[in-house]
């Protein structure tokens, strides 16, 4: 029983990271109708920037203050994501207004390659560490309830907390600020929003920036746990089923979907995996999403699609 | 002046429905094929065959398959690599498990198996489209990656996980020199290109394009979406599967599942985008471009670097390759969604009027 | 006129259609007789297009029965409706933009082409013969609609009026029993409207095709239709000969507002 709960919690933690990546997808899709395949590359790019900026800043400061170095790096990486958002809007989105979804998807595949190439050219292609001073030691919990108790990383807890705060902030941002309102208007109807004077181009930069910051946070959490390397970009592929499951336009969907997929992956790997030779977690999520898709094409929380003629 | 269609009147509908309605086009293509079959084997060296010509031909075939689905039927796929894998492994199993199985039959059976898989993973396309479909095809990709790695039966319980085909022969012809392998592939690609051209000018091709352009209207005039989409998936997967089998048998000789990874799927999609969606010719352009560009960059970039006194590492070249590919994808989708094939068509249009453009 | 209006071919009884909580059609009954020109009119949002979508199976009404040639029709998909001889054109032209005029109209022959895919792949005898046979039919339609000069042009490049004509051509290629026309003359100038009216009446006259027409131009409706049904807010408020409908106080109220 203790083992089951440990697996469950491990799944929830992994799922939370998927949720963060999925959140980036949803933000961009809601406001610009772009299914941003490059979200994973953005996580990689942001994490690389964070890791290297932090390293450089730490070096420049003589290694005295890790906190300050990390702060500088965070701002620096944020600026890098702002630049990415600006460039994407200026050179890509602006020229593809009112294109079909599939075209936009393929464009983001192109953006993925560019980001991966540029990121590694500037920041290098080794494995880097992000050290934001997260506690690493595991703690035992609920020893009184189960034999052997449950082993949990403090780090995971803090990460979950950060993710929760981020989601809360985003919700506030969407619901309460004028920019958030404009974003929702744009999401409903590009042309109508433009016609009442909402600057579409600036909105897109903001959304991609927000998605970039989300990617940065995801990158930091992931990177501090497992190191920053190229494989981080493939996290987009892991998060795709999450978005399908949760619905492309739903923030709560991204969260819940991420948790379901995270738990589903871990449980299936632990309990079904050994029977079929292991390694099933990658496709299991996809098949789960696929089966779901057949019965409810709009996802858990998505809006129902009506075809008009 | 040579490229004119004046005076070529058609008196029958049959004449008007030919693949190349302009005589010069017809002769040009026949000329290219004759050149490829007769002259190229005399000119090319082994490196040319192995590194450029054979991969180009096989990937053209795969890109053609992907183009039938993406460019003609409008169904996006990110799982083409998986169908290459299915073709390769199925052909391998047919070859080693059935005594006296002829090579060509094994290749075609590999394609048919892939077609079956295509239908299976095409079923979601009846319910969903666009982005969702992309995810469904990725599911095929990851499932196949896993299956060929973990299910030992597919690899004939080989301990290393890689499989190999030792000798290729057909009707007593042993295909072992690079030139022979090249000709073998050329035969396939010419035949399949002809089939693709026939399909796209027949009623099935029109059904695919109708579904692509406006699926609701297509259904209203009596096109069954299920038949059209699944037939596109089947035919496309058949092409891609045969290409996969050729890739494994002829090009690689021995291979592992990694040869058909998701990167291969993206690469095939890029060939179609750069070459030209909805164009048979474009599939060849796209394949040529993507086969040649990395080779070109590997030769060219270090040379440029040494000119200005910088040594450019192979890592830097591969990063540059990513950037250039990515930029080109974005560029073509924005500026010329019909790719290189469209540029070719514009050039021909100009040539028709040359030297009197007005 | 030579044509003779026949029996009821399509009978709609108590049709109701809802999208979630929104009622698009409420309890509508009317019928269509063979060989007649039946107009559906009404203000914007009255449910006219929804009505056509119900007839050709794009939408499935929650309540009501549809009888086609006296037989109750089960729930059907658009392509099944097409195979029973119902064709339509679209309000916002729904042509296949990437294809030529000829290919667009050829798609209308899909249901009548039987050769299998293998024959098509190899372009063998029967497939080629079939292709030519249908090409001949399509050329007849092209002649009829006077669009010979643009047969190889991609439809995306055509002006609006011609696109509408190709849309009609594609529907005619199906040799339909019933032809549904959704605002075939919207956005046209007088000359184009006259052409379109002529084509519609010719189709009705020469092939005996039953026509169901949605149109806003009252002059056109009164001139060419045999009977008119009037919808307003998803309800039927009038049904009868053009003159009767024009005189109906309810119809006048719907069109001119309550003040009159």
Q: Classify A150 as helix, strand or coil.
A: strand
The pTM score is 0.88
Domains and CATH numbers, chain A: 2-295 (1.10.3470)
DSSP string, B123-157: GGGGT--THHHHHHHHHHHHHHHHHHHH-GGGGTT
The Cα C52–Cα C56 span in angstroms is 6
Token pair of C27, please?
A: 């309890």
How many A-C residue pairs are in contact by the CB < 8 A criterion?
9
Per the CB < 8 Å rule, is A309 touching C19? no
Residues of A within 8 A of B320 (CB-CB) are 117, 121
Instruction: Give pLDDT, residue A30.
Output: 80
Report the pLDDT value the prediction gives residue C77, as an integer from 0 to 100: 87
Distances (CA, A) of B306 to A118, A160, B311, B323, B324: 21, 50, 6, 21, 20
Asked if C89 has any chain A CB less than 8 Å from its own CB, the reply is no
Q: What is the pLDDT of residue B128?
A: 72
Within an 8 Å CB–CB cutoff, is residue B219 touching chain C? Answer: yes
> Which DSSP category does A231 fall into?
G
pLDDT along chain B (358 residues), means of 10: 63 74 80 85 83 93 95 91 95 89 91 94 79 82 87 80 79 80 92 93 92 89 91 96 94 88 91 90 92 86 79 82 90 85 83 68
C47-50 long-range contacts (CB < 8 A, ≥24 apart) are: C47/C17, C47/C231, C47/C233, C47/C234, C48/C182, C48/C214, C48/C231, C49/A309, C49/C91, C49/C182, C49/C214, C50/C17, C50/C24, C50/C25, C50/C234
Whether residue B13 lies within 8 A of chain C, CB to CB, comes out as yes
Closest residue on chain C to B278 (Cα): C98
CB A154 within 8 A of CB A139: yes
E strand or H helix that includes residue B342: helix B339-353
Give the separation between CA C39 and CA C225, rounded to whole angstroms.
6
- Among B16, B213, B219, the residue with its CB nearest the CB of C79 is B219
And the tokens for B174? 């042993």
Q: Please, what is the average pLDDT of chain C?
A: 88
Q: Give the span between the Cα atoms of A126 and A142, in whole angstroms.
A: 40
| Predicted local distance difference test score (pLDDT) of residue C1 | 46
Return the biggest CA–CA distance within chain C: 69
CA distance, residue B329 to nearest chain A CA (Å): 5
What ipTM does the predicted assembly reach? 0.88
Report the Cα–Cα distance between both ends of chain C, in Å, rounded.
Answer: 37
CA–CA distance from C76 to each of B124, C72, C82, C213 (Å)?
Answer: 21, 11, 10, 22
pLDDT at residue B37, as a whole number:
83
How far is Cα C99 from Cα B190, in angstroms, rounded to an integer?
A: 25
In angstroms, the CA B174 to CA B187 distance is 15
SS (H, E, C) chain C: CCCCCCCEEEEEEEEEEEECCEEEEEEEEEEEECCCEEEEECCCCCCHHHHHHHHCCCCCCCEEEEEECCEECCCCCHHHHHHCCEEECCCCCCCCCCCEHHHHHHHCCHHHCCCCHHHHHHCCHHHHHHHHHHHHHHHHHHHHCCCHHHCCCEHHHCCHHHHHHHHHHHHHCCCCCEEEEECCCCCCCHHHHHHHHHHHHHHHHHHCCEEEEECCCHHHHHHHCCEEEEEECCEEEEEECHHHHHHCHHHHHHHHCCCC
Taking the CA of residue C128 and the nearest CA in chain A, the distance in Å comes to: 34
pLDDT in tens, chain C (260 residues): 445 788 889 999 999 998 877 888 999 999 999 999 999 998 888 888 899 999 988 899 999 999 998 889 888 888 888 999 999 998 888 899 889 999 999 999 988 888 788 888 877 778 888 888 899 999 999 999 999 889 888 898 888 888 999 999 999 999 999 999 998 888 888 888 999 999 999 999 988 899 999 988 888 888 889 999 999 888 898 899 988 888 888 888 877 665 44
C61-104 residue pLDDT tens:
999 999 998 889 888 888 888 999 999 998 888 899 889 999 99
Tokens standing for A92? 């890509």
Which chain C positions have a beta carbon within 8 Å of A306's beta carbon?
Answer: 19
Q: Do A306 and C19 touch (CB under 8 A)?
A: yes
Strand partners, B170: B173
Give backbone dihedrals phi and psi of C10, rounded to 5 degrees, phi first.
-130, 125
Mutation pick from A33, A44, A113, A285 vs chain B, by most beta carbons of B within 10 Å, is A113
10-residue mean pLDDT profile of chain A (309 residues): values are 78 83 86 84 92 86 79 91 91 80 84 92 84 68 61 76 84 81 76 79 87 91 82 80 82 85 84 73 80 75 57
Nearest CA in chain B to C55: B220
Q: Which chains touch C (3 or more CB pairs under 8 A)?
A: A, B
Calculate ∠ Cα C151-C152-C157, nearest 5°: 95
Nearest residue of chain C to residue A306 (CA atoms):
C19
CB pair distance less than 8 Å for C78 and B219? yes
**Could you tell me if C83 lies within 8 Å of chain B, comparing CB atoms?**
yes
Strand partners, A139: A152
Give the DSSP letter string of B30-99: HHHHHIIIIIHHHH--HHIIIIIIHHHHHHHHHHHHHHIIIIIT----S-HHHHHHHHHHHHHHHHHHST
Question: What residues form DSSP beta bridges with A144?
Answer: none
Contact A271, A279 (CB under 8 A): no
Residue C260 has a pLDDT of 46
Can you list the alpha helix ranges (DSSP code H) found in A177-250?
178-188, 190-195, 200-226, 235-246
State the smallest CA–CA distance between residue C91 and chain B in angstroms.
11
Cβ contact B210–C79 (<8 Å): no
Q: Chain C contacts of A304, Cβ < 8 Å?
A: 20
Cα(A92)–Cα(C217) distance, integer angstroms:
44
The backbone torsions φ and ψ at residue B72, rounded to the nearest 5 degrees and listed phi first, read -95, -40
pLDDT, residue A163, reads: 82
Buried b (16+ CB within 10 A) or exposed e, B220-235: bbbbbbeebbbbbbbb
Residue in chain B closest to C171 (alpha carbons) equals: B221
Residues in chain C: 260
Flag if A309 and C90 touch (Cβ within 8 Å).
yes
Q: Does C225 touch chain A (CB under 8 A)?
A: no
Residue A113 has its nearest CB partner, among B146, B329, B334, at B329
Q: Is A218 on the interface with B (CB under 8 A)?
A: no
Q: Name residue A128's beta-bridge partners.
A: A228
d(C-alpha C140, C-alpha B356), whole Å:
36
Asked if residues A220 and A50 have their Cβ atoms less than 8 Å apart, the reply is yes
């Amino acid at each position: 029983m203790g083992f089951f709960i440990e697996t469950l919690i491990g799944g929830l933690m992994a799922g939370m990271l998927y949720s963060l990546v999925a959140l980036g997808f949803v933000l961009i899709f809601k406001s610009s109708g772009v299914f941003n395949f490059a979200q994973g590359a953005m996580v990689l790019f942001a994490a690389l920037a964070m890791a290297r900026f932090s390293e450089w800043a730490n070096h420049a400061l003589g290694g005295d203050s890790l906190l300050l170095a990390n702060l500088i790096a965070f701002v620096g990486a944020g600026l890098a994501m702002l630049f990415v958002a600006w460039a994407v809007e200026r050179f890509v989105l602006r020229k593809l207004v009112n294109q079909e979804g599939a075209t936009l998807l393929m464009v983001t595949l192109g953006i993925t390659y560019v980001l991966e190439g540029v990121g590694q050219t500037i920041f290098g292609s080794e494995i880097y560490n992000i050290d934001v001073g997260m506690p690493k030691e595991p703690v035992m919990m609920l020893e009184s309830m189960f034999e052997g108790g449950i082993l949990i990383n403090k780090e995971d807890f803090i990460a979950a907390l950060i993710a929760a705060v981020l989601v809360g902030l985003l919700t506030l941002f969407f619901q309460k600020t004028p920019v958030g309102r404009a974003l929702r208007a744009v999401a409903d109807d590009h042309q109508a929003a433009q016609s009442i004077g909402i600057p579409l181009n600036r909105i897109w930069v903001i959304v991609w920036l927000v998605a970039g910051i989300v990617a940065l946070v995801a990158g930091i959490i992931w990177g501090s746990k497992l190191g920053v390397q190229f494989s981080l970009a493939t996290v987009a592929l892991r998060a795709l089923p999450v978005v399908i499951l949760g619905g492309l336009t739903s923030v709560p969907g991204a969260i819940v979907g991420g948790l379901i997929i995270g738990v589903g992956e871990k449980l299936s790997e632990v309990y079904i995996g050994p029977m079929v030779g292991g390694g099933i977690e990658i496709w299991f999520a996809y098949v789960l999403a696929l089966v779901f898709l057949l019965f409810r094409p709009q996802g858990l929380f998505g809006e129902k699609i009506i075809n008009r003629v | 002046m040579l490229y004119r269609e004046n005076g070529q009147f058609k008196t029958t509908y049959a004449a008007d429905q030919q693949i190349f309605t302009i005589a010069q086009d017809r002769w040009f293509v026949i000329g290219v094929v004759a050149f490829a079959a007769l002259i190229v084997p005399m000119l090319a060296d082994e490196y040319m065959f192995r590194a450029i010509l054979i991969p180009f031909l096989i990937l053209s075939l795969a890109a053609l398959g992907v183009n039938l689905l993406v460019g003609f039927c409008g169904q996006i796929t990110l799982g083409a690599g998986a169908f290459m894998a299915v073709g390769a492994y199925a052909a391998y199993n047919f070859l080693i498990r059935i005594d006296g199985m002829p090579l060509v039959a094994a290749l075609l059976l590999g394609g048919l198996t892939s077609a079956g898989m295509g239908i299976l993973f095409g079923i979601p396309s009846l319910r969903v489209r666009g982005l969702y479909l992309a995810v469904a095809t990725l599911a095929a990709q990851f499932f196949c990656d896993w299956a060929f790695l973990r299910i030992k039966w597919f690899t004939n319980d080989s301990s290393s996980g890689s499989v190999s085909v030792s000798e290729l022969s057909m009707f007593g012809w042993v295909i072992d020199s690079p030139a022979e392998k090249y000709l073998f592939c050329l035969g396939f690609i010419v035949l399949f290109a002809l089939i693709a051209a026939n399909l796209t000018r027949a009623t099935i091709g029109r059904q695919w394009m109708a579904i692509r352009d406006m699926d609701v209207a297509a259904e209203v005039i009596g096109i069954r979406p299920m038949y059209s989409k699944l037939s596109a998936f089947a035919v496309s997967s058949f092409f891609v599967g045969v290409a996969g089998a050729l890739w494994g048998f002829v090009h690689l000789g021995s291979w592992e599942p990694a040869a058909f990874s998701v990167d291969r799927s993206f690469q095939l999609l890029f060939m179609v985008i750069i070459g030209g969606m909805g164009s048979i010719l474009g599939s060849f352009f796209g394949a040529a471009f993507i086969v040649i560009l990395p080779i070109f960059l590997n030769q060219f970039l270090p040379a440029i670097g040494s000119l200005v006194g910088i040594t450019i590492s192979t890592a830097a070249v591969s990063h540059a390759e990513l950037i250039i590919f990515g930029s080109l994808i974005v560029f073509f989708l924005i500026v010329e969604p019909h790719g290189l094939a469209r540029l070719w068509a514009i050039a021909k249009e100009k040539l028709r009027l040359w030297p009197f453009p007005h | 006129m030579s044509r003779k209006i026949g029996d009821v071919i399509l009978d709609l009884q108590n049709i109701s259609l809802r999208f979630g909580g929104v009622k698009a059609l409420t309890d509508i009954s009317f019928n269509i007789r063979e060989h007649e020109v039946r107009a559906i009119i009404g203000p914007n949002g009255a449910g006219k297009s929804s009505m056509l979508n119900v007839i050709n199976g794009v939408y499935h009404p929650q309540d009501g029965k549809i009888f086609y040639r006296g037989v109750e029709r089960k729930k059907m998909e658009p392509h099944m409706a097409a195979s029973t001889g119902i064709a339509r054109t679209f309000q916002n032209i729904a042509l296949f933009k990437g294809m030529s005029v000829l290919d667009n109209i050829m798609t209308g022959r899909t249901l009548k082409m039987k050769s299998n895919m293998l024959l098509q792949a190899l372009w063998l005898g029967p497939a080629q013969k079939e292709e030519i046979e249908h090409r001949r039919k399509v050329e007849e339609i092209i002649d009829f609609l006077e669009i010979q000069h643009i047969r190889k042009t991609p439809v995306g490049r055509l002006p609006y009026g011609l696109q509408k004509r190709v849309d009609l051509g594609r529907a005619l290629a199906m040799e339909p029993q019933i032809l549904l026309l959704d605002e075939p003359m919207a956005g046209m100038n007088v000359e184009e409207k006259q052409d379109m009216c002529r084509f519609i009446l010719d189709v009705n006259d020469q092939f005996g095709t039953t026509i169901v027409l949605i149109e806003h131009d009252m002059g056109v409706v009164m001139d060419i239709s045999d009977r008119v049904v009037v919808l307003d807010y998803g309800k039927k408020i009038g049904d009868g000969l053009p003159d009767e409908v024009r005189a109906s106080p309810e119809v006048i109220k719907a069109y001119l507002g309550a003040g009159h």
